[in-house]
């Protein structure tokens, strides 16, 4: 896989654990480890000089708040084939997705968002997401205008990054960033645990009709995590 050369580290907010292959004991990821997501450079066009009442484009503020990370097992189990040890059982290649709920809590309308998912799997052979979408509060679905090539961070951790533009997210409005992927493509007898880690940031707003990069007032609340488990059979 092609590795994006520019990354920034984002700390994991909590540790998580997965069972050993024999089902006895658990190994835990260390709390405070870092995920690294690509950073997309945004071209900034400076506004033309105008009268003194023209808004200044310096220090434009916005904030994209992430909350309520939701994980959906194939449309709430629609693709499941029963349960095993209280976990859903899926056919190989069943669709899954993870949602990051976003709200523009700043004071400026956002016109471009970058969102990424770091996806770590136990006993999972999926190495690429099947798609990314931004779903606005009115139900409008926006596909990414840019997709960064997936790359492996190490082990079973992969990063999928999407950039969305051509929309407006006004102050107070919400949207959902959704990353879609599938279960293992081959049957497995062992338990699979997935922990999607998702992060988003506002990368562009309009000031005096020109695109500028906003100042993020609180970048520490732009992410969310979730864990779930399931079995896959043929």
**pLDDT at residue 143 tops 70:** yes
For 53-76, what is the mean pLDDT?
Answer: 66
Structure tokens at 232: 């896959």
Q: Is the pLDDT confidence value at 29 over 60?
A: no
Higher-pLDDT residue of 103 and 87 is 103
The least confident of 188-192, 196-200, 204-208, 216-220 is 188-192
The pTM of this model reads: 0.68
How high is the pLDDT of residue 110? 92
Domains annotated for the chain, with CATH where assigned, are 54-213+228-233 (2.60.40)
pLDDT band, residue 173 (cuts 50/70/90) = very high
Selection from 126, 109, 227, 103 nearest residue 177 by Cα: 103
Query: Is pLDDT at 101 greater than 60 in this prediction?
Result: yes
Residue 24 — pLDDT band, cuts 50, 70, 90?
very low
Contact between 89 and 230 under an 8 Å Cβ cutoff? The reply is yes
Higher pLDDT, 53 or 203: 203
Summarize pLDDT for 89-99 with one digit per residue, the tens.
777 777 778 88
Q: Is there a contact between 124 and 194 (Cβ–Cβ < 8 Å)?
A: yes
Give the Cα separation of 216 and 163 in Å (integer): 17
- Return the exposure string of 129-156: e unless at least 16 CB atoms fall within 10 Å of the residue's CB, then b: bebbbbbbeeeeebebeeebebbebeeb
């Amino acid at each position: 896989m092609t590795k994006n050369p520019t990354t920034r580290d984002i700390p994991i907010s909590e540790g998580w654990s997965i069972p050993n292959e024999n089902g006895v004991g658990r190994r835990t990821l260390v709390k405070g480890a870092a995920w690294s997501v690509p950073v997309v450079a945004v071209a900034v066009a400076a506004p033309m000089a105008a009268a003194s009442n023209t808004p200044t484009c310096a220090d434009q503020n916005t904030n994209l708040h992430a909350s309520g990370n939701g994980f959906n097992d194939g449309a709430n189990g629609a693709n499941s084939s029963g349960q095993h040890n209280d976990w859903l059982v899926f056919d190989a290649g069943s669709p899954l997705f993870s949602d990051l709920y976003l709200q523009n809590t700043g004071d400026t309308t956002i016109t471009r968002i970058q969102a990424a998912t770091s996806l770590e799997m136990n006993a999972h052979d999926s190495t690429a997401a099947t798609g990314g979408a931004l779903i606005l509060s009115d139900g409008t679905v926006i596909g990414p205008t840019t997709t960064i090539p997936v790359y492996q961070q190490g082990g079973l951790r992969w990063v999928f990054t999407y950039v969305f533009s051509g929309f407006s997210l006004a102050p107070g409005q919400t949207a959902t960033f959704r990353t879609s992927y599938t279960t293992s493509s081959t049957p497995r007898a062992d338990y699979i645990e997935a922990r999607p880690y998702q992060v988003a940031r506002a990368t562009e707003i309009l000031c005096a009709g020109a695109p500028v990069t906003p100042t993020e007032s609180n970048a520490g609340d732009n992410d969310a995590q979730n864990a779930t488990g399931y079995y896959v059979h043929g």
